[in-house]
Structure 1
Amino acid sequence: METKHWVVDNSGIIHQQYPQIKEAAALIQQGEVVAFPTETVYGLGAQVKRDSAVEKIFQAKGRPSDNPLIVHIADRTHVDELARLIPPYAQLLINAFWPGPLTIVVPKKEGAVSERVTAGLDTVAVRMPDHPAALALIKEAGVPVAAPSANRSGKPSPTTAEHVLDDLNGRIAGIVDAGETGVGLESTVVDCTGDYPVILRPGGITQADIEAVAGHADTNTALKKAEEAPKAPGMKYTHYAPEAPLYIMEGTSAAIQKKIDEWRAEGKKVGVLAAEESAASYKADTVIECGRRSDLASVARELYSALRLFNEQPVDMIISEAFPAEGVGAAIMNRLEKAAGHKWIKMR
């Protein structure tokens, strides 16, 4: 399959309708899958009611069938077409954070989406992205669009069109290329089926942000048991992983360096993922900087690109520094733990 590549300018989309957007939307209407940018990462979209179209997402990604998809909309009123019930606190979250990197999980309306989208659950995950190309594409397609991240399943999510092409060229119909994304980590996913919001996946919208709007909120970042169906993407399987095994190390730079030296003495090539403030203190085969510890939003933006860079390096293993798990740091550590398969090494 030839993967078409449409380059668009974000500012131009606001003032005119790109023929590239029309062509991409027409392919979605025909039941094909198209990658497009959001403010978080690039997504891989298909119309939500057509089983055969949604199945192409799973085929392209190699995605497990029990991993539900997020439905993207371009108008807040469209959530009423998908949801059977929207609790008052969920409406407050919509008003505060849409468009933006927040996904709500709500009871679904019967027949609103393909069963492949919800993995057979009685809930549906919905968000309205804050990106002109995404909104223009969804509006032009005229239907809500199911869209997980546009990468091979388990690999680091794509923050540039080049990342998408590395993983999916020849496997999808096309990609709308509007440059690098902004937030860098997937949306916060909030379960809105109970008496108060429960965070299923942390992201750029933090627990403090949610509580400021909706009152009490809980957090559930644990992996689901193998026999349970995940209610949101990223809850069950290893995700975001580079090709070499990744370990999270906690301790002083000197203690971490001692472990690096031990592995290198055994003939292993070691890569290190570190904040800008500490990167120069490590001696390893490859050291890649990933934002500033003093600005965790910069770490979030650069995390996936940094993990992908290791695939271009001859390393046998990768060590990542741990980051504070407050605010957006909770999302960073969530992604790192899944990329590492929860492998920690604590040095003293």
Structure 2
Amino acid sequence: MTFDAPTVAQIHEAAALLDAGQLVAFPTETVYGLGGDAENPEAIARIYAAKGRPSNHPVIVHLAPGSDPAYWVETLVPDAQKLIDAFWPGPLTLILKRATHVPAAVSGGQDSVAIRCPSHPVAQALLTAFSTMRDGHGGVAAPSANRFGHVSPTTAQHVRDEFGASVHVLDGGAAKVGIESTILDLSRGFPALLRPGHVSPLEIADVLGVMPRLPDGSDASAPRASGTLKAHYAPRTPLSLLPFAALERLLAAHPLDARKKLALVARTSSAGKWAKAPNVHFIAAPDDPQSYARELYGLLRTLDRADVERILIETLPVSAEWSAVNDRLGRAAAAFEEQG
């Protein structure tokens, strides 16, 4: 899908809105963010209110290329600098101890802060323009630009679908990564992965010389981080994530003349006859983890609009390459397990 890249004037208009304490939705390489001035508690409160986000759930501060991350943290530890040199700009968020002048609201009241520098050119232009207004120290707090707990947006239209004309949107086309950034905690003296993403634990280990602690549910001292609640990233249509044999039983029980179809997202090799069944809305699952990640949220939004009774998704391989997509799908399915 084509789009008209924002002009310099439009970028400066958006930066001026941020400077005035207003919100701007903007593209990153991961998903679209709903941004506000990270040093303005009123702007941060507007983000939480617009999303319906719990006030104790932290947001990520986005920084311009070439800006000083040390401004935002108590101490920029050596491991953080190594990872910044290796992966910024890019889809890696670092959690460090928060500098005292940074509002606690960005961290949900915690003493830590999450920072990253996105690689999307529109995001970089906006962040640079805003930072220039703040003597090189402007940062934009931005969770995903959607209602809290729902499917993240990967296009400008997705943002408009969520918020209508109430939020100023910069269009940067479709997000290339498609799922949120990797979140790595460095605030406790050791690296700990809090959210999987495009940057893998092995890539982090290659830089640090040590494998980060992986999330297993036992890390009680970990800071709260964006997108780590059990139920998250959910469509409005009920979603089940199951091995194909279990899905097939559900498909077989669904009446051929049912008013609504069942949506099936599965490998073509698994789907067999169900790919053409009259009571099934079939979508072939992408073959590789990068394509699946890029298409996932758009796919879930499409199926919400398709008015199907239920979304059935075939479980994915359990491997490091698939961990980020498995994480998002597992949290989306959990939203409906908790309802049940």
TM norm structure 1: 0.86
SS at match of 1:271: strand
Q: Is contact 1:196-1:216 (8 Å) kept?
A: no
Specify the alignment match of 1:4 in structure 2.
none
Q: Does 1:70 align with 2:60?
A: yes
The structural deviation recorded for 1:291 is: 1.8
The structural deviation recorded for 1:289 is: 3.2
Specify the alignment match of 2:114 in structure 1.
125
Residue 210 (structure 1) aligned to one of 201, 204, 228: 204
SS at match of 2:249: helix
Specify the alignment match of 2:265 in structure 1.
273
Specify the alignment match of 2:325 in structure 1.
332
Q: Unpaired runs of 5+ in structure 2?
A: 132-137
SS at match of 2:334: coil
Specify the alignment match of 1:151 in structure 2.
146
- The 10-residue stretch of structure 1 (259-268 or 149-158) with the greater mean CA deviation from structure 2: 259-268
The structural deviation recorded for 1:322 is: 1.1
* Residue identity opposite 2:71 in structure 1: E
Q: Relative to structure 1, is the Cα distance of residues 333 and 259 closer, same or farther in structure 2, using a 3 angstrom cutoff?
A: same
The structural deviation recorded for 1:36 is: 0.4
Runs of 4+ aligned residues of structure 1 deviating over 6 Å after TM superposition are none
Specify the alignment match of 1:46 in structure 2.
36
Percent identity for Structure 1 against Structure 2: 39
The structural deviation recorded for 1:196 is: 2.6
Q: Does 1:341 align with 2:334?
A: yes
> Structure 1: how far apart are the matches of 2:218 and 2:321?
19
* Residue identity opposite 1:75 in structure 2: P
Q: Relative to structure 1, is the Cα distance of residues 229 and 57 closer, same or farther in structure 2, using a 3 angstrom cutoff?
A: farther
Specify the alignment match of 2:171 in structure 1.
177
Q: Does 1:260 align with 2:251?
A: yes
SS at match of 1:238: coil
> Structure 2: how far apart are the matches of 1:161 and 1:269?
29
The structural deviation recorded for 1:265 is: 6.8
Q: Relative to structure 1, is the Cα distance of residues 135 and 105 closer, same or farther in structure 2, using a 3 angstrom cutoff?
A: same
Specify the alignment match of 1:297 in structure 2.
290
Q: Relative to structure 1, is the Cα distance of residues 287 and 99 closer, same or farther in structure 2, using a 3 angstrom cutoff?
A: same
Q: Relative to structure 1, is the Cα distance of residues 116 and 133 closer, same or farther in structure 2, using a 3 angstrom cutoff?
A: same
Q: Is contact 2:152-2:297 (8 Å) kept?
A: yes
> Structure 1: how far apart are the matches of 2:99 and 2:128?
21
SS at match of 1:218: coil
Q: Is contact 1:34-1:175 (8 Å) kept?
A: yes
The structural deviation recorded for 1:203 is: 0.3
- The 10-residue stretch of structure 1 (271-280 or 46-55) with the greater mean CA deviation from structure 2: 271-280
For this pair of structures, how many residues does the alignment match?
Answer: 324
1:272-328 CA distances to partner (integer Å, 9 max, x unpaired)?
122455456534431223422xx2100000000011111112222111111123234
> Structure 1: how far apart are the matches of 2:216 and 2:160?
30
Q: Relative to structure 1, is the Cα distance of residues 306 and 277 closer, same or farther in structure 2, using a 3 angstrom cutoff?
A: farther
* Residue identity opposite 1:272 in structure 2: L
Specify the alignment match of 2:135 in structure 1.
none
SS at match of 1:158: coil
> Structure 1: how far apart are the matches of 2:219 and 2:251?
33
> Structure 1: how far apart are the matches of 2:222 and 2:164?
30
Specify the alignment match of 1:313 in structure 2.
306
Q: Relative to structure 1, is the Cα distance of residues 310 and 77 closer, same or farther in structure 2, using a 3 angstrom cutoff?
A: same
* Residue identity opposite 1:308 in structure 2: R
> Structure 2: how far apart are the matches of 1:281 and 1:93?
48
* Residue identity opposite 1:55 in structure 2: A
Specify the alignment match of 1:98 in structure 2.
88
Specify the alignment match of 1:87 in structure 2.
77
* Residue identity opposite 1:115 in structure 2: A
- The 10-residue stretch of structure 1 (85-94 or 159-168) with the greater mean CA deviation from structure 2: 85-94
> Structure 1: how far apart are the matches of 2:68 and 2:319?
33
> Structure 2: how far apart are the matches of 1:224 and 1:24?
39
SS at match of 2:263: strand
The structural deviation recorded for 1:343 is: 6.6
* Residue identity opposite 1:247 in structure 2: S
Q: Does 1:234 align with 2:227?
A: yes
Q: Is contact 2:154-2:298 (8 Å) kept?
A: yes
Q: Relative to structure 1, is the Cα distance of residues 133 and 168 closer, same or farther in structure 2, using a 3 angstrom cutoff?
A: same
The structural deviation recorded for 1:44 is: 0.7
1:135-185 CA distances to partner (integer Å, 9 max, x unpaired)?
11011112100000011111110000010000011332x000011110000
Q: Is contact 1:31-1:46 (8 Å) kept?
A: yes
1:117-145 CA distances to partner (integer Å, 9 max, x unpaired)?
11100000000001110011011112100
* Residue identity opposite 2:296 in structure 1: L
The structural deviation recorded for 1:230 is: 5.4
SS at match of 1:231: coil
